[in-house]
């Protein structure tokens, strides 16, 4: 069962930007696209662990600030030909509030 946690207002995340949610299992990056969709991923690039939350967001992708790996926000997959995957977490917006469901296994790993 998905248990949703309220994490803040959508307006507190910049469009084409990201904010970090701290958890005991590590940081989770919450992204906001131009059309106000939100996505949540572990804040670690599959390449060398770079903080994805600090990257440039374009369409539904983010570019890692360390070595320009491009990660799909929806799936966490690196865009080909790069390989690797970052754990994703369900996220949604309701009435301007962002909700997150932390997938424990992923967050703890």
Binding site for another protein (CB under 8 A): 5, 7-8, 12-17, 19-25, 27, 30, 34, 48-51, 54-59, 63, 65-68, 70, 81, 98, 100, 102, 104, 107
Q: Is 23 or 77 the residue whose CB approaches another protein more closely?
A: 23
Q: For residue 21, which of 93, 107, 94 has the smallest C-alpha distance?
A: 107
Residues 100 and 106 sit within 8 Å (Cβ to Cβ): no
Q: Please report how close the Cβ of residue 95 comes to another protein at its closest, in angstroms.
A: 17
Residues 77 and 71 sit within 8 Å (Cβ to Cβ): yes
Q: Is 76 or 78 the residue whose CB approaches another protein more closely?
A: 78
């Amino acid at each position: 069962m998905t248990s949703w946690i309220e994490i803040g207002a959508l307006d507190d995340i910049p469009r084409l930007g990201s904010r970090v949610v701290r958890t005991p299992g590590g940081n989770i990056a919450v992204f906001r696209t131009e059309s106000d969709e939100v996505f949540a991923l572990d804040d670690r690039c599959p390449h060398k662990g770079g903080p994805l939350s600090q990257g440039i967001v374009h369409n539904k992708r983010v570019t890692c600030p360390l070595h320009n790996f491009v990660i799909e926000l929806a799936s966490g997959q690196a865009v080909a030909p790069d390989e690797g995957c970052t754990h994703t977490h369900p996220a949604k917006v309701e009435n301007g509030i962002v909700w997150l469901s932390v997938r424990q296994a992923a967050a703890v790993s």
